[in-house]
Structure 1
Amino acid sequence: MLVLGDTHSLPRTMNLAKGISSRRFNQATGRNGPVWAAAFHDHALRRDEDLREVARYIVSNPIRAGLAMTCGDYPYWDAVWLDRDGAPL
């Protein structure tokens, strides 16, 4: 969960998070270059059902990107709404 304070705006926070994680990912994998898309999409969640649906979409991103066959195969996933095969709990 991300809670913004008075120090940084959401765009600045995302820029910092993406920059730090990109550098660490590239260093760990011996890669060089962009990891994230330049933009980001924010969306206010208003109900628990929305949160569950969005969480399932997010943890399925590595499957859609061809990085894993199941959510459980991707080492950086974690969600309380899915089992290791991506099935709803």
Structure 2
Amino acid sequence: MPRYIRSKRFGGTFFFTVTLRDRRSSVLVDHIDLLRDCVRHVKSKRPFDIIAWVVLPDHIHAIWRLPEGDNAFSIRWQLIKMLFTKKLKERMHDKESVWQGRFWEHEIKSDDDLRNHIHYCYLNPVKHGYVLSTRDWPYSSFHRDVKLGLFDIHWNGLLEVP
């Protein structure tokens, strides 16, 4: 059986998929306020840039850029998951973590790779049938990127012909 080896690159850009143990759960969007607070808290203690982010009911896709000299994305995810679990337990009186034990990570290697993964994040709610258009999914950094002028609100992932 192959052994998965995480990237050790310092200051890199990475795509992540983080999932719940129960893939039928909607706890992430049901408690989006808690998730956002947990991410903000961890980000304040261990900074990173969020390039793209989409939260679906049962999983998250995210692209982070770590500071130069830092490769501790696993610690950041561990802290986010632990803090979210703790806050959720306080709110719901649940006894167990809702997360799968691990997460999937991919080191971004080029501008095309980055663009493809950003598009993957933003199209994921459409792919899963939650909405018909990226603009209709509220739990995504797509809306931030529209405000920044990086995407048009009507973007649908198709290549535009000049």
So what's the TM-score if we normalise by structure 1?
A: 0.59
Of 37, 47, 52, 2:110 maps to 47
Alignment correspondent of 1:74: 137
The unaligned stretches of length 5 or more in structure 2 are 1-48, 50-64
Q: What secondary structure sits across from 1:16 in the alignment?
A: helix
Cα distance in 2 for partners of 1:61, 1:14 equals: 21
Q: What secondary structure sits across from 2:105 in the alignment?
A: coil
Q: C-alpha displacement at 1:17, in angstroms?
A: 2.6
Higher strand share: 2
- Residues 70 and 84 in structure 1, CA contact (< 8 A), matched pair in contact too: no
Cα distance in 2 for partners of 1:51, 1:40 equals: 19
The unaligned stretches of length 5 or more in structure 1 are none
Alignment correspondent of 1:60: 123
Deviates more, 1:59-68 or 1:36-45: 36-45
Higher helix share: 1
Q: Identity over aligned residues, as a percent?
A: 20
So what's the TM-score if we normalise by structure 2?
A: 0.38
Q: Kindly indicate whether structure 1 or structure 2 has the higher relative contact order, using CA contacts under 8 Å at least 6 residues apart.
A: 2
- Residues 122 and 140 in structure 2, CA contact (< 8 A), matched pair in contact too: yes
Quote the RMSD (CA, aligned, Å).
3.4
Equivalenced residue count is 83
Q: C-alpha displacement at 1:19, in angstroms?
A: 4.9
Q: C-alpha displacement at 1:38, in angstroms?
A: 4.4
Cα distance in 2 for partners of 1:42, 1:3 equals: 13
Q: C-alpha displacement at 1:41, in angstroms?
A: 1.4
Structure label with greater radius of gyration: 2
- Residues 4 and 10 in structure 1, CA contact (< 8 A), matched pair in contact too: no
Cα distance in 1 for partners of 2:155, 2:101 equals: 28
